[in-house]
Amino acid sequence: HSPPEQPGDKPSETGGVQRKEVCHWPCRCPPVPACTPGISLVKDGCGCCKVCAKQAGEPCNEADVCDPHKGLYCDYSEDEPRYETGVCAYLVAVGCELNGVYYANGQTFQPNRLYKCLCVSGTIGCTPVFTPRLAGSPCARVPGRKKPGQSICGLEQHKQLQSTNYRVMS
C-alpha cells in the first residue's frame, strides 16, 4: 500500500520527470523593456508580458521565447528527458529568388560574369569575381604603345577590378 499522492507529487506525462513551472497566473509584468535595435519586442510564451525576444544561441524556455521575426525557435533536444530549457536556433532557412530564378539556402551562384553570390536565409550577398583579362579587353597588353609588360589601363581601373566590396542584391 503506497501513501496518498500529495499535490505537486504527481509524475508528469514525460516519464516521471518533473518540470519547473515557468508561467504564473495572474500575470505580473515588469515595465515594458527597451530592446536593443534589431531585437524584437514580443509577448512572452505565457501570453502575459512584453519581453525582448531571445536570439540565436541564447537559452530559452516556455516563457522566454526566441525571435520569430528572425526565424528562430527553441530547440529543446539537448535537455532530454526534461525538455525544460532549450537554445534558440534557426528554423530550416528559406531560399532566395533573383530575376525569377530560385536558389536554395547556402547555394552559391553567378548571376553574371561580374559577381559571385551566396543565398543565406532569403538574403543574397555578392562579391566581385576576379577574371583574367582577355586579349580583346580594353585592359589587354598592347605592345608598342607602352613599355613591355604595362597595361593600357590606369591604376584606378585596376583597383576597381580588384574591389572586394560586399554587395546585397535585392
Please tell me which residue, 127 or 4, carries the higher pLDDT value.
Answer: 127
pLDDT, tens digit, 9 for 90 and up, residues 29-64: 999 999 988 889 999 999 999 999 999 899 999 999
Average pLDDT for residues 102-122, to the nearest whole number? 84
Give CATH for domain 17-91: 4.10.40.20
Residue 53's region, left for phi above 0, alpha for psi from -120 to 50, else beta, is: beta
Give CA angle at 161 (158, 165), nearest 5°: 125
pLDDT, tens digit, 9 for 90 and up, residues 69-98: 877 899 998 887 777 899 998 777 678 889
DSSP letter at 69? Answer: G
pLDDT, tens digit, 9 for 90 and up, residues 132-159: 665 655 555 555 555 555 544 544 444 4
pLDDT of residue 1: 52
pLDDT of residue 55: 92
pLDDT of residue 11: 44
Residue ranges, comma separated, of all CATH 4.10.40.20 domains in the chain are 17-91
